[in-house]
Amino acid sequence: MPNSFKRLDAHLSSLGYCTRSEGVKFLKMFRVCIEGVRVFDPRLKAHHDQITVDDAPLDPETLTVVLHKPSGFICSHSDAGKLIYSLLPLRWQRRNPKLSTVGRLDSDTTGVILITDDGALNHRLTSPKSDIVKVYEATLAQPLRGDEAEIFASGTLLLHGEKKPLLPAKLEVLSPDKVRLEICEGKYHQVKRMFGAVGNRVVALHRIRFGMYDLQGLGEGEYKVLS
């Protein structure tokens, strides 16, 4: 695990507690201690796990959370609209490096999404070679016609604009117009495009699992920190 030895102002700034220029003011306003001794000099250096703020340990040096994304939030740092990061504490929004979503969910798609500032982890989980299983529940505009599960499982479905067919996907029918779909790819708008390719349309989409992570205990907009 990382345990950086840094100047207080630089370290607190990277974790979003304050800017470097606010270091002196922050140390006056909050009880910042190194190994239990209160300090006021932002130039002092310490290891991450030696520092406390108001008797609480610092946030992790690398932060990863699983969040239950509500509809209407955008997985972006700059697009207009309600950004997914606004659901997190303001301090986390100021971290450097920035928190970023692991992949994206459309604005109208709900469910589990990971957010992290661990670039190596993000790359590993979004790599085409990762084979991370994603499970969605989709509500459809029209009832199923009956051959969708076979088509999706065949490994021959070619989406418009793609050069290679999709890998086999598993479809479970929940009702005539609701399904659970398990895929191990992450192509652009994949689930919506898959149903478009068989003459249907997704009207609601909810991701219930991403790899080993699910929404257990999380209401819409809620999150938990992963170890």
What's the confidence (pLDDT) of residue 81? 87
111 and 220 belong to one structural domain: yes
Model confidence pLDDT, tens digit, residues 81-137: 899 999 999 999 999 999 999 999 999 999 999 999 999 999 999 988 888 999 999
80 and 176 belong to one structural domain: no
CATH at 100 = 3.30.70.580
What's the confidence (pLDDT) of residue 128? 82
Domain carrying residue 32:
5-57
The count of structural domains within the chain is 3
CATH at 51 = 3.10.290.10
Over 70: is that where the pLDDT of 186 sits?
A: yes
Using alpha carbons, list the distances in angstroms from residue 146 to 149, 151, 176, 179. Answer: 7, 10, 9, 12
| Per annotation, catalytic residue among 106, 117, 118, 147 | 106
**Residue 168: pLDDT band by 50, 70, 90 thresholds?**
very high
Active site residue 41: no
Q: Residues 12-27: what's their mean pLDDT?
A: 97
151, 198 Cβ separation under 8 angstroms: yes
**Residue 2: pLDDT band by 50, 70, 90 thresholds?**
low
